[in-house]
Amino acid sequence: MLRALRRLLRPGGRIAYTTIYVTPGLPSAARRRAQRSGPRAVASRAEQTQLLASAGFVDIDRLDVTSEFAMTARAWLTESETHAEALAAVEAPGAFDERQRDRRRQLAAIDGGLLRRALLSATRPQR
């Protein structure tokens, strides 16, 4: 996908995105817990900066935004709880409770140092 995005950009164009990833260097059990706590993409063992480089991008920057990620996840969980009755009423039975469990599990993984989030940016070379 990154190669296709590079082709779509004009020479010198930039790409930026955020990604959630498993903290590097975790023991196997902690890595599995992190993978179960995050979105599917966290199962990848590939480093995003390496993927960007192999897709032909240059000037790759990475900014850790894990603390903001935790703050947002906590606010999302809290506000959802505040409006639980209304939200549960518009979802399939049990869906709201399941989503809240997932949010709590993800927040615990962030707070436990298992999941991280980064803002990545890179440039399509001028050539």
Q: Where are the domains of the chain?
A: 2-123
Q: For residues 108 and 23, what is the distance between their CA atoms, to the nearest angstrom?
A: 14
**pLDDT at site 31:** 93
**pLDDT at site 98:** 93
Residue scoring higher pLDDT (38 or 70):
70
Specify whether domain 2-123 bears CATH 3.40.50.150: yes
69: Cβ contacts below 8 Å, ≥ 6 apart = 20, 110, 115, 116, 117
Q: What is the pLDDT of residues 76-102, one digit of tens each?
A: 999 999 999 999 999 999 999 999 999
Q: What is the pLDDT of residues 46-60, one digit of tens each?
A: 889 999 999 999 999
